[in-house]
Structure 1
Amino acid sequence: MEVIMYTFNMIPPRTSGMALMIVAILIPFLISIFLGIDLYMLKHVKYNIDRNELQIKGGLYKRVLSKDELDLDSVSIVDLNNKMDLAPVIKRNGIGLPGIKEGWFKLRNGEKALLFLTDTKNVVYIRTLKGYALLLSVSNPEEFVKKLRAMG
């Protein structure tokens, strides 16, 4: 019995192999640049409080929240090493590197939260009336909480 084999070639891509190689090299390079810019911006996050609003400036997730959007009674300073129910467990969108967490996370208690964390010991927790919480690393958390509560 004679075996007959037919071979067919795939139609070559319209772009050259060189173009595909350039794209394959550029994508990781662009991601690295984007990550570097975000890490730089994260080092320069500032929290501004005035009589009517909290402004989060810097990073990718800037926010302006009026005092009416904040649950000022929920404001507290927490140590995430001891208050495990507020610990971030699932990253939804953002950066989750050792020592830096920025973006949308799900907390152990199931709550959705926007994080700007570089320290887990002195974290300011703020529940918003928009369906999520804020977890913020602040250089002077006691004074920050005092100024936030004065908004109300």
Structure 2
Amino acid sequence: MQQKQEFDVAPLPSHVAWWLWLPVLAAIGAMIVAMTMESRTPPPSAAWLAVPFVLAVGVVLTFALRRRRIVLDNRELQVLATFYTRRLAVEAFDLDKARVLSLEEHTDLAPMLKTNGFSLPGFKAGHFRLRNLTKAFCLVTDRTRVLLLPQRDGGLLMLSPTRPAEMLARLRELAAPTPRR
């Protein structure tokens, strides 16, 4: 029986956290300014609960952003991407058409429309439609080295492992028929 093999995910660009926290902090600042402006009636005390609520949302999203794993467990590929998980058998992929590519060069394959996902500049996780309108499940942290895994049912899996060619070679090795003795 095969043991679990984990593939490191390419690190997030440093600016991704800023894209998450700048809007959260701006919203908190705007709420505080709005509630402390001079008016004839003070804001209800319940209005102040919005500030810790927005802060809590920012913390939850930060922890979600850290949930990024690619695991090969007994011929099943498991992708954990923020709030989303995808599990597919190795046989579900058409590995003859799988390849490593750059989304900078292949812009028709770039995730465009988020259908159920988590998206920040430099980070895509979850379900997307690509520019060519194909459905894809993504965990993309590095647009220059993306492992594109076509599924036999027509969908795509797009991943950013640190060593995509090594991961593809391992998947192909598992998919190869075993010789009979």
Q: Shorter-normalised TM-score: what interval?
A: 0.7 to 0.9
Q: Aligned in 2, Cα 1:93/1:26: closer, same or farther, shift over 3 Å?
A: farther
Residue 40 of structure 1 and its aligned partner are, at CA, apart by 2.0
Gaps of 5+ in 1: 1-15
CA RMSD of aligned residues (A): 2.1
Residues 1:68 and 2:88 are matched in the alignment: no
Aligned mate of 1:17, from 37, 44, 47: 44
Aligned mate of 2:54, from 25, 28, 46: 28
Higher strand share: 1
Which residue of 2 is the match for residue 125 of structure 1? 148
What is the percent sequence identity of the aligned residues? 33
**Mapped partners of 1:75, 1:119: distance in 2:** 17
Residues 1:93 and 2:116 are matched in the alignment: yes
Under a length normalisation based on structure 1, what TM-score does the superposition of the two structures give? 0.76
Residue 81 of structure 1 and its aligned partner are, at CA, apart by 0.7
Under a length normalisation based on structure 2, what TM-score does the superposition of the two structures give? 0.65
Gaps of 5+ in 2: 1-42, 176-181
Q: Is the 8 A contact 1:104 1:114 kept in 2?
A: yes
Q: Aligned in 2, Cα 1:55/1:87: closer, same or farther, shift over 3 Å?
A: same
Residue 106 of structure 1 and its aligned partner are, at CA, apart by 0.9
**Count of aligned pairs between the two proteins:** 133
The one-letter amino acid paired with 1:70 is F
Larger Rg: 1
The one-letter amino acid paired with 2:121 is P
Q: Is the 8 A contact 1:54 1:66 kept in 2?
A: yes
- Note the alpha carbon deviations across 1:45-86, whole angstroms, 9 max, x for none: 232225522122453222221123222222110110111110
Question: Where do 4+ consecutive residues of structure 1 move more than 6 Å?
Answer: none
Residue 24 of structure 1 and its aligned partner are, at CA, apart by 2.9
The one-letter amino acid paired with 1:128 is Q
